[in-house]
Chains A and B, each alone.
With several copies, the nearest count.
Chain A
């Protein structure tokens, strides 16, 4: 089993990178040493006892030498709002690293991200780059605000961007972009990774299946603990022809797309 710890981490910075999205950088001496891309941390966002449950966030960067990690988060509800108000210098309680990371395999990986899904996939892209493998990165977002940010601070590898409102590069969703890109390209991917809204991941998986590629998807579920004791985060998983509930937090969050019952 992977080692997990509770660590009190100092906030190095917590900045709004484009409207409603924040990048949080933390000094996490121990967790940074243990973490791999695709794993996540559970953060106690506010100090209030009104909101008792921690919230899960995937690693966006892991700098083992500098003892740093970062996450990118969208303000969605009460706790991400509270998190956005925490100031640098303050301490946050983290539990991590949690879950299993992405299996790193293949020579020509395709990474398909939507929304905040770009955070963990950027982390994976860095890991590939360190292995001298250049990933192909497809990213779908709502508009030019997000697109602009990542165009300026791109992940490793070749980046292609689609915006839903057409305000930046390709107009449409990321799977449409993929379909329009491929005929003109000579690249032969040998593995696919995806993270983002469930429907987008499903479409990506279906595309991968058609092309006979293994596709790893990072799933999201509301979590009670993050380390496998509450059974709050289950997902029906297909294995050897049988369905049974797996924990996204412990058995995932990364699953082989084959095992997921997409039309649940």
Chain B
């Protein structure tokens, strides 16, 4: 049999395979080169970049929970200016592994300005992280409000020529409403899920384990939540979905694809198995070969009879 087709086109971004390193767990990509060959994976999302540099949260930032990981990094990052100056140019000659910049604004203007600044050839796409608290709406994150979500997307689409991926938070009553709003506002793709809000208490000290009290839950524990949301959103929108949340094994990848994800991101697993993205890309290809699946994209939405996505298989 021929080698199975593993490439995929998300909006105008062409990935050599659907495996993407998730934001905040892949550094700025280059740190991972000790463990894997970046040119063997589709791409990665940078650490969340903000308008100004941020020092992040004080105190302990990481805690383990059953089959999960709580983090409260608090978006520590160098800010957009420094990022464009020092990080972006390093991707000038990397062509296979796409640099997706995860941007996190506090308001519409910040998103807009950052999008303008990221009109650079090295940047393959933007991933909008709307998980900052909405300053107008009592601490609820922007991604929980369909109107704010739309406003950000519309503003960014006006100034950006890049594919716009909108990253959704699972901490909402109805993910379908937010996803639909994102699609209607012009998003090119949706990635989900971000972390689930959680916390842990140190019973010896009777204090929250994390300095920031609450944190984001990731890892295998949240996989059933991610798969469910991808499934729901795949029944709701036509734009491609990038699925994530607890992906660790080939089986996890297949679960997300069959639920309706077009591409996949791997988060927490990079931290304990830093070669995992390359391994999963290879294992997915081997699986397709073994099963005689000529294009991995045939797996997309396979379990979901109401899958609405439009898959572009490309030319032969």
Q: Do A and B come from one complex?
A: yes
List the interface of chain A (C-beta within 8 A of B). 1, 3-6, 42, 44, 49-54, 95, 221-225, 227-234, 236, 244-245
Q: Chain B: how many interface residues by the 8 Å CB criterion?
A: 35
Is B32's CB within 8 Å of the partner chain A?
yes
| Given contacts A5-B34, A52-B268, A245 and B76 within 8 Å (CB-CB) | yes
> Does B67 lie within 8 Å of A3, measured CB to CB?
no
A56 to B35, CA, bound (A): 18
> Does B60 lie within 8 Å of A52, measured CB to CB?
no
Q: Which of A44, A53, A221 has the most CB of B within 10 A?
A: A53
Q: Can you list 30 contacts pairing A with B, beta carbon distance less than 8 Å?
A: A4-B35, A5-B34, A6-B35, A6-B273, A6-B275, A44-B272, A49-B220, A52-B67, A52-B220, A52-B272, A53-B64, A54-B271, A54-B272, A95-B35, A95-B274, A222-B61, A222-B63, A224-B61, A225-B270, A225-B274, A227-B34, A228-B31, A229-B32, A229-B274, A230-B71, A231-B56, A231-B73, A232-B62, A232-B71, A234-B56
- Name the prevailing secondary structure of the B interface residues: loop
CB neighbors of A among B72-123 (8 A): 73, 76
> Does B271 lie within 8 Å of A230, measured CB to CB?
yes
A46 to B118, CA, bound (A): 43
> Does B61 lie within 8 Å of A232, measured CB to CB?
yes
- Beta-carbon nearest neighbor of A245 in chain B: B55
Q: In the complex, what residues of B have CB within 8 A of residue A229's CB? A: 25-27, 31-32, 270-271, 274
A233 to B76, CA, bound (A): 12
- Name the prevailing secondary structure of the A interface residues: loop
Q: In the complex, what residues of A have CB within 8 A of residue B24's CB? A: 230-231
Q: In the complex, what residues of A have CB within 8 A of residue B47's CB? A: 231
- Neighbour of B25 across the interface among A52, A230, A236, CB < 8 A: A230
Q: Which of A95, A224, A228 has the most CB of B within 10 A?
A: A224
Is B69's CB within 8 Å of the partner chain A?
yes
Q: In the complex, what residues of B have CB within 8 A of residue A228's CB? A: 27, 31
Least CB distance from B48 to A in Å reads 10
User: Known contacts A95-B274, A227-B274, A229-B27; can you find 9 more A-B pairs with CB under 8 A?
Assistant: A5-B34, A6-B274, A49-B220, A50-B67, A221-B60, A225-B272, A228-B31, A229-B271, A230-B24
Is B66's CB within 8 Å of the partner chain A?
yes
| Given contacts A6-B274, A222-B62, A234-B61, A49 and B67 within 8 Å (CB-CB) | yes
